[in-house]
Amino acid sequence: MQEHILSMRGITKAFGSTVALDNVDLNVRAGEIHALLGENGAGKSTLMKILNGVYAADKGEILINGVPTVFRNIREAMAGGISFVFQELNLVLSLSTLENAFLGRLKSDSRGIIDWKSMTAEFNGFMKSIDFEMDPGRLVSELSIAEKQMVEIARALMLDSKIIVMDEPTATLSSEEIHKLFNIIRILKNKGITIIYISHRLEEIFQICDRLTVLRDGKNICTLDVAETTKPYLIEQMVGRSMDYEFPEREAHPIGEPVLDVKNLFTPGFLQGINFTLYRGEILGIAGLVGSGRSEIARAVFGADKIEKGDFWVDGKKVSIRSTMNAKALSIGLVPEDRKDEGSSIELSVMKNITITNLDKVSRGIVLNRRKEVREAKRMVQELGVKTPSIHHRLDQLSGGNQQKVVLAKWLYNDADILILDEPTRGIDVGAKYEIYLLIYEMVKRGKSVIMISSELPEIFALSDRIMVMYEGCLQTCVENHEGLKPEDIMGFALG
C-alpha cells in the first residue's frame, strides 16, 4: 500500500441549488502525476479550489501526509507546499513578468529594499534550467496568452512546492511549448514532486500521467492506472455513454463563389502580405504555430487590429474594413481566442451574453421581446449543452468550459455570413466538441462560410475543406484537404 501524500475524503460542495461535488474522494500518491478528468462542469476546478482554500467544503476532510489539514487561502496552501496553475490566469497585467513571477513574495534586503537583482538572477537561472526564454522586464499585458501561461507556470514551479496542481496548463500552449512543459513535468517528477493534472486533451494523459480519477456530475466515477486503460474507455467514463467517433462524418456540402477576398494584407510588424480567398459554404482551416500570425489574420479581417495596407472584397465588392463595426455590418463575426478578456461579460447573465449583440433578433422595432429572448437563449444553451442551472445565472458562476460554450453560442446565434473561429474548442470536453463540429457543419450547409484557426491538427483535418498554413507572418501554403494529405506535410510548412 503506497502512502498518499494527499487524500481528499467525502468532499461535498453546493453553490445554491447546484451540487458541484457530491461526496468526492481523491487519493494521490507521493511522486505520481495524477490526472483529474471529467466533462465541463464535472467539478474538477471546484475540487482544487477546495484544496487551496478558495472555497470551503460543506463536508469532507483533507489529509496531507495523513494529517488533517485546512488551508484558508492560497497563501496558506503555498506555505503548506502546494502551488497552483489556474485555468483562469491570475496575473497582474500592469506589472512586469518578474513582478508577477514573485507576486506575494518579493524579496528584500535587510533594510527592506526590494532586491530586484537577486530576483532577476533567480528568475533567469530558473528559466535557463527549464530551457525557456523570457524577458523578466516585459509587461505582462504585452505577452501572448501562451507567454502569460508560462509566467503562471514559472511562478508555481519556482515556489519549490511538494504538490503542483495544473488546471488545463496546455490549453493555450503551442505544441513546442507543450513539449517543453512535459519535459519540465518529467524533471519535477524525477525530483519527487507530485502533480495533479487537469486537461481535456486525452492524448496528454497517456503521455505523462501515471494514474487518473474521473468525475462526472460532481461524483466519483473511477480511479485507474493509465497503463490499464484506453481512450474510448475513458471517454465513456467521462460522458456516461460510449462515443464511437470524436468527429462527425464529413458531409459533402456545395462550395460556391468567393465571399471574401483578402489581398496584400500587411499589419505593423506582423503579417507580411497575405493573400487568400474564402468561398461560400467553405470551412477554411488555418494551421500554424502559436505566434505564427493566425490570430492576426482573424483580427485584421474583423477590423480589430490596425492594418498597414491590404484590400478586402466581400461578395465581389471592394469594401473597407477599418473597425469591428465595419466588419459586423458586412456580416463578419469573430469568436476570439482570448474569450475571457474579449468575448464575454462575465458579470452578465448567460442569456444576456448570448443576446446582447443580437438584440435586433429578439426585438420588434426598439421593443425587446423578453419571451423571445428567453426562448432563443434557452435554445442555444440546449443545443450546445451548456451546463447552467438557468439562463439567468451569471457567466462567472459557470465552469471554464461552459463559459467558452456561451461565447460560441453568441456568435453561432448571430448568424454571421463569415464566421471566424479562433481555437473554438479550447477547454471544451469531448462530448461538447462533437456538438460544436455539428453546428459548424450546419452553418456551412446553410451557405455560411467559416474560417477556423486551431492548434489541434486532427480537428483541422477532420473539418476543413482547404488548409492554410502560417509561418512567421507569412502564408506558407494553402492546400485542398484530400485523402492523401498527412499531418507531417502540414507540420513541415508550419515549422518553415
**Residue from 18, 23, 414, 477 in contact with ligand ATP (CB under 6 A):** 18
φ/ψ of residue 294, rounded to 5: -65, -50
Query: Interface with ligand ATP includes 52 (CB under 6 A)?
Result: no
Contact 412, 424 (CB under 8 A): no
Q: Per-residue contact track with Mg ion, 80 to 99, x per CB under 5 A?
A: -------x------------
Count of helices and strands (H, E) across the chain: 16, 22
Query: Interface with ligand ATP includes 401 (CB under 6 A)?
Result: yes
| CA geometry: angle 442, 254, 405, nearest 5 deg | 20
Number of residues engaging Mg ion in binding (CB under 5 A): 4
Contact 205, 212 (CB under 8 A): yes
CB atoms within 10 A of CB 427: 22
Which residue's entry shows cell 486551431?
454
**Residue from 11, 35, 40, 153 in contact with ligand ATP (CB under 6 A):** 40
**Residue from 42, 57, 158, 202 in contact with ligand ATP (CB under 6 A):** 42
Query: Interface with ligand ATP includes 344 (CB under 6 A)?
Result: no
Contact region with ligand ATP (CB under 6 A), list: 44-52, 179-187, 293-301, 316-324? 44-52
CB within 8 A of 47, min separation 6: which ones?
8, 11, 21, 24, 26, 36, 215
Query: Interface with ligand ATP includes 451 (CB under 6 A)?
Result: no
How far, CA to CA in Å, does 321 sit from each of 246, 298, 328? Answer: 37, 12, 10
Cross-strand bridge partners of residue 164? 83, 195
Interaction with Mg ion in 12-31: which residues (CB under 5 A)? none
Choosing among Mg ion, ligand ATP, none, which partner's interface includes residue 40 (Cβ < 5 to 8 Å by kind)?
ligand ATP
DSSP-based three-state secondary structure for 345: coil
**Residue from 136, 291, 400, 424 in contact with ligand ATP (CB under 6 A):** 400
Number of residues engaging ligand ATP in binding (CB under 6 A): 19
**Residue from 10, 15, 25, 320 in contact with ligand ATP (CB under 6 A):** 15
Helices (H), 217-368: 231-239, 294-301, 324-329, 350-355
Q: Per-residue contact track with ligand ATP, 259 to 278, x per CB under 6 A?
A: --------------------
Which residue in the shown chain puts its C-beta closest to Mg ion?
45
User: Considering the complex, what minimum distance in angstroms separates the CB of residue 186 from ligand ATP?
Assistant: 25
**Residue from 20, 37, 119, 212 in contact with ligand ATP (CB under 6 A):** 20
Helices (H), 302-399: 324-329, 350-355, 370-383
Cross-strand bridge partners of residue 473? none
Q: Per-residue contact track with ligand ATP, 353 to 392, x per CB under 6 A?
A: ----------------------------------x-----
Query: Interface with ligand ATP includes 56 (CB under 6 A)?
Result: no
Report the half-sphere exposure of 91 (CA within 13 A, side-chain side).
Answer: 31
Beta strands in 120-248 (DSSP E): 163-167, 194-198, 211-216, 219-225
Nearer to ligand ATP, 24 or 119 (CB): 24
Q: Taking the CA atoms of 337, 41, 458 and 406 in sequence, report the sign of the dihedral they define.
A: negative
Name the grid cell of 351: 442569456
Choosing among Mg ion, ligand ATP, none, which partner's interface includes residue 349 (Cβ < 5 to 8 Å by kind)?
none
Which residue's entry shows cell 468525475?
215
Q: Taking the CA atoms of 13, 16, 17 and 20 in sequence, report the sign of the dihedral they define.
A: negative
Q: Per-residue contact track with ligand ATP, 79 to 108, x per CB under 6 A?
A: --------x---------------------
Name the grid cell of 284: 477554411
Give CA–CA dist 410/351, Å, rounded.
9
**Residue from 4, 5, 46, 91 in contact with ligand ATP (CB under 6 A):** 46
Choosing among ligand ATP, Mg ion, none, which partner's interface includes residue 397 (Cβ < 5 to 8 Å by kind)?
ligand ATP
Query: Interface with ligand ATP includes 44 (CB under 6 A)?
Result: yes
CA-based Rg of the chain, rounded to a whole angstrom? 23
User: Considering the complex, what minimum distance in angstroms separates the CB of residue 160 from ligand ATP?
Assistant: 26
CA 107 to chain centre: 33
Nearer to ligand ATP, 57 or 314 (CB): 57
Query: Interface with Mg ion includes 45 (CB under 5 A)?
Result: yes
Site residues for Mg ion per CB under 5 A: 45, 87, 399-400
> Which parts of this chain interact with ligand ATP (CB under 6 A)?
15, 18, 20, 38, 40-46, 87, 387, 397-402
